[in-house]
Amino acid sequence: MYAFEYHRPTSVKEAAGLIGQVEDPKFLAGGHTLLPTMKLRLAGPANLIDLGQIAELRGIERSGDTLAIGAMTKHAEVANAAEVKEAIPALAELAELIGDPHVRNRGTIGGSVANNDPSADYPAACLALNATIVTNRRKIAADDFFQGIFTTALEDGEIITQIVFPIPTQAAYAKFRNPASRYALVGVFVAKHADGVRVAVTGAGSNGVFRASEIEQALSGNFAAEALDGVTVSEAEMNSDIHADAAYRAHLVSVMAGRAVQTAVARG
């Protein structure tokens, strides 16, 4: 790890203020992507601003037909929260599938969303649930937020404060894990909303998380696994690596979508 200065602000305002004052800053959330990257010397911020002591960034709250989750809420907290299990059980299940128990005890939803790793799980939930990413400056619709691999609408120094999820009628997430890393080789989040079906795919796309329009169309008339019989997704936009080539990923998108729908329907 390269040397850096460490800052431990206790409010969003203080954290945001530091941005203008120090050189080459980086926010530290759960640290489970950033710290390994820094250990391998692939990142070397001069100033690390730890968001871990900011109480206002934590917490889960349901109000009406939305569920708001503070950016520094840990995966394990989302997985175990009664409010989440009640409102959007698919989201709790997704959180339970991230990394391993130790990772879930440190990693945060805000960190995951801000990083937009192409094989991270939360971006699929945000996109399929039509979430709003709330920052210290504005509110960003998920459709606008995710802009390609490790790229988001966040501006320099902008801090995610919470993610607000509309509560769907039915939803589920099916993940096919990369056997080695446990990230999503393919993860499909399906959500039936009052105004339509949204399906988001992570892990598979060569340009990061995306909505699968073929599958959305198939499910919009009939939200059932059978509706996906014969529905294929194009492999043209799929990622290819030593673990899975584009054709296999495209195939898995259909399979995982079917399994997610089955789970969602079975849950009622």
Partner 1 sequence: MTATGIGAPVRRKEDQRFVTGQGRYVDDFNRPGQTYAYFLRSPHAHATIRSIDTGPAKIMPGVVAIFTGDDLAADKIGGLICGWMIHSKDGSPMKAGPHPALAQGKVRYVGDHVAVVIAETLAQAKDAAEAIVVDYDVLPAVVDTAQATKASVQVHDVSPDNTVFNWHLGNKDETEAAFARAKHVTKIDLVNNRLVPNAIEPRAAVGEYDFGTDNYTLYTTSQNPHVARLVLSAFIGVAPEHKLRVIAPDVGGGFGSKIFIYAEETVCVWAAKKVKRPVKWTSDRSEAFLSDAHGRDHVTHAEMATDENGKIIGLRVHTTANLGAYLSTFSSSVPTYLYAPLLSGQYDIPAIYCEVDAVYTNTAPVDAYRGAGRPEATFVVERLVEKTARELGQDPAEFRRRNYITQFPHATPVIMTYDTGDYAASLDKALEIADYKNFQQRKQESARRGKLRGIGFSSYIEACGIAPSQAVGSLGAGVGLWESAEVRVNPTGSVEVLTGSHSHGQGHETTFAQLVSDRLGISIDQVSIVHGDTDKVQFGMGTYGSRSGAVGMSAIAKAIDKVIAKGKKVAAHVLEASEGDIEFKDGRFGVAGTDRSLAFGEVALQAYIAHKFSGQDLEPGLKEGAFYDPTNFTFPAGVHICEVEIDPDTGVTSIQRWTAVDDFGVIINPMIVEGQVHGGIAQGVGQALLEGAFYDQSGQLITASFNDYCMPRAIDLPSFQVGMTVTPCPSNPLGIKGCGEAGAIAAPPAVINAITDALGHEDIAMPATPQAVWRAAQKARMPMAAE
Partner 2 sequence: MTTVSLTVNGQSVTADVDPRTLLVQFLRDNLRLTGTHVGCDTSQCGACVIHLNGQAVKSCTVLAVQANASVVTTIEGIAEGGELHPMQAAFREHHGLQCGYCTPGMIMSAIDIVNRKGNALDEQTIRAELEGNLCRCTGYHNIVKAVAAGAQGMAQAPMRQAAE
Sign of torsion, CA 57 163 146 255?
positive
Number of residues this chain uses to bind partner 2 (CB under 8 A): 28
Taking Cα atoms as reference points, which of 62, 101, 64, 106 lies closest to residue 84?
Answer: 62
Whole-Å CA distances, 104 to 32, 74, 77, 97, 172:
9, 6, 8, 9, 19
φ, ψ (nearest 5 deg) of residue 250: -60, -40
Q: How far is the CB of 76 from partner 2 (least distance, A)?
A: 8
Under rule CB under 8 A, residue 39 binds partner 2: yes
State the minimum distance, in angstroms, from the CB of residue 179 to partner 1: 5
Of the candidate residues 16, 76, 201, 244, the single one contacting partner 1 (CB under 8 A): 244
Q: How far is the CB of 226 from partner 1 (least distance, A)?
A: 15
For residues 126 and 146, the answer to whether their CB atoms sit within 8 Å is yes
Task: Based on the shown chain and the rule CB under 8 A, indicate whether residue 236 belongs to the binding site for partner 1.
Answer: no
Q: Is 255 in the site for partner 2 (CB under 8 A)?
A: no
122 binds, among partner 1, partner 2, none (CB under 5 to 8 A by kind): none
145 in Cβ contact with 112 (< 8 Å): no
Residue 13-52 contact track with partner 1, rule CB under 8 A, x = bound: ---------------------------xx-----------
What is the smallest separation between the CB atom of 259 and partner 1, expressed in angstroms?
Answer: 9
Contact 60, 53 (CB under 8 A): no
Single out the residue of 27, 146, 173, 176 in contact with partner 1 (rule: CB under 8 A): 176
Binding segment (CB under 8 A) for partner 2, from list 25-33, 150-158, 201-209, 252-260: 25-33
Residue 20 interacts, among partner 1, partner 2, none and using kind-specific CB cut-offs from 5 to 8 Å, with none
Which span (61-69, 104-112, 202-210, 247-255) binds partner 1, by CB under 8 A?
Answer: 247-255
Question: 40, 39, 16: which is closest to 27 by C-alpha?
Answer: 16
Residues found near partner 2 in the complex (CB under 8 A):
1-6, 8, 28, 31-32, 35-36, 38-40, 48, 50, 52, 76, 99-103, 105-106, 181-182
